[in-house]
């Protein structure tokens, strides 16, 4: 999950941002880390240094540093598991909040999880509590926050089916509980990508069921993911979104199928290559740069465009060196 916000209406120069961040780091030397490589915080293992990093463990800490960033005029990014992110080679010119809110609680059939809890850990802990429904998500990387923001799903299900309520931090500093309807959940999307609200916590409604059967389904999904997805080479998962169905009752067409038929397997740019077992996954074979990945993705899109006349849309989001979003409606990337 990645939430980015330009705190002020102006657009301060990098030198101003560096100076402001140095001032903030000097005031909080035990909390703010400087020049932290984003390649260490993303599953692609790509990206230059963030000027500053704060590890956030509670909603109050998130609020505190959002306000401090505003006070110092700093661009702000909130990062979860970094599983769907392509960070810029230059890094990020601002402050990164690394969300490590990993709380978990059960009340009846409802489970409440912090945004920083690993999505797969939520699946396992729910089963341990005797609740089923999320086994479809077994093995999906990233965090609960990223899953909600991108309405993550597979095998015909999405997390939005189970969401009952969520807690968000507004850009103006209010912490509020919101309904699923207000999040406008859609295929791999939600209003959180553009509203500027930072997801802190999510409550899902599950059900009692045969945990043994659910665990068997979970193991099958994990085994399938191990066969189809890279586990040695760094990647960000599926790079492009699946295509809309041809009819309301139909299923989405897999982008990987079109890419495979377009002959992208074997394509490579620098250290970035198309994964041999899945045409919709780009892997970092070692030393890949953001520029390598973007160039390879452009070649893959062009191949599908030329063969089928279809324009693929990226699912992996690029975090640029400088945020250029509307300060009143900052982009929320996952």
Digitized pLDDT (tens) for each residue of the chain, 334 residues in all: 555 554 444 556 888 999 999 999 999 988 999 999 999 999 999 999 999 999 999 999 999 999 999 888 899 988 989 999 999 999 999 999 999 999 999 999 999 999 999 999 999 999 999 999 999 999 999 999 999 998 998 888 999 999 999 999 998 899 999 999 999 999 888 999 888 899 999 999 999 999 999 999 999 999 999 999 998 899 999 999 999 887 777 788 899 999 999 999 999 999 999 999 999 999 999 999 999 999 999 999 999 999 999 999 999 999 999 864 434 334 333 3
Q: What pLDDT was estimated at residue 251?
A: 82
Overall CATH class of domain 104-212: alpha beta
- Does domain 2-101+318-333 fall into CATH 3.30.43.10? yes
Residues of the chain with CATH 3.30.465.10: 104-212
CA 203/CA 311 separation, integer angstroms: 36
3-class DSSP state for residue 123? helix
Q: Are 46 and 39 in contact (CB under 8 A)?
A: yes
Residue pointed to by tokens 């080479």: 233
Angle among Cα 316, 317, 319 to the nearest 5 degrees reads 140
- The whole-model pTM stands at 0.89
Residues of the chain with CATH 3.90.78.10: 240-314
CA 123/CA 129 separation, integer angstroms: 10
Residue pointed to by tokens 């970092």: 284
The pair of structure tokens assigned to 164 is 């009952």
Q: What pLDDT was estimated at residue 248?
A: 74
Sequence-separated (6 or more) residues with CB below 8 Å from residue 242 = 187, 252, 253, 254, 255
Q: Which CA distances in Å does 190 have to 102, 148, 150, 184?
A: 22, 8, 6, 5
CA 199/CA 18 separation, integer angstroms: 27
Q: What pLDDT was estimated at residue 326?
A: 39
3-class DSSP state for residue 112? strand
CA 37/CA 302 separation, integer angstroms: 31
Overall CATH class of domain 240-314: alpha beta
Active site positions, annotated: 188, 238, 315
Residues of the chain with CATH 3.30.43.10: 2-101+318-333
């Amino acid at each position: 999950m990645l939430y980015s916000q330009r705190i002020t209406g102006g657009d301060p120069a990098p030198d101003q941002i560096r100076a402001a961040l140095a001032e903030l780091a000097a005031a909080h030397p035990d909390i703010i880390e400087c020049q932290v490589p984003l390649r260490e915080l993303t599953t692609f293992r790509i990206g230059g240094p963030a000027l500053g990093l704060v590890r956030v463990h509670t909603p109050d800490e998130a609020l505190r540093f959002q306000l401090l960033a505003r006070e110092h005029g700093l661009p702000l990014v909130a990062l979860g598991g970094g599983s769907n992110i392509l960070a810029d080679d230059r890094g990020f010119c601002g402050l990164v909040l690394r969300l490590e809110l990993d709380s978990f609680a059960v009340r009846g059939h409802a489970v409440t999880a912090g945004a920083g809890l690993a999505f797969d850990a939520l699946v396992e802990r729910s089963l341990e509590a005797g609740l089923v429904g999320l086994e479809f998500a077994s093995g999906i990387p990233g965090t609960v926050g990223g899953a909600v923001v991108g309405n993550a799903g597979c095998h015909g299900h999405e997390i939005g089916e189970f969401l009952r309520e969520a807690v968000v931090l507004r850009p103006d500093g209010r912490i509020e509980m919101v309904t699923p309807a207000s999040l406008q959940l859609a295929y791999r999307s939600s209003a959180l990508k553009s509203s500027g609200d930072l997801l802190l916590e999510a409550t899902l409604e599950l059900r009692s069921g045969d945990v043994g059967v659910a665990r068997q389904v979970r193991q099958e999904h994990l085994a399938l993911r191990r066969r189809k997805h890279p586990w040695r080479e760094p990647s960000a998962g599926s790079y492009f979104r699946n295509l809309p169905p041809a009819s309301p009752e139909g299923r989405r067409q897999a982008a990987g199928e079109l890419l495979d038929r377009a002959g992208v397997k074997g394509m490579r740019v620098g250290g970035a290559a198309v994964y041999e077992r899945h045409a919709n996954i780009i892997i970092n074979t070692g030393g890949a740069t953001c520029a390598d990945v973007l160039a390879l993705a452009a070649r893959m899109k062009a191949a599908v465009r030329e063969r089928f006349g279809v324009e693929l849309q990226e699912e992996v989001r690029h975090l640029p060196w400088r945020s250029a979003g509307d300060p009143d409606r900052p982009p929320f990337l996952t």
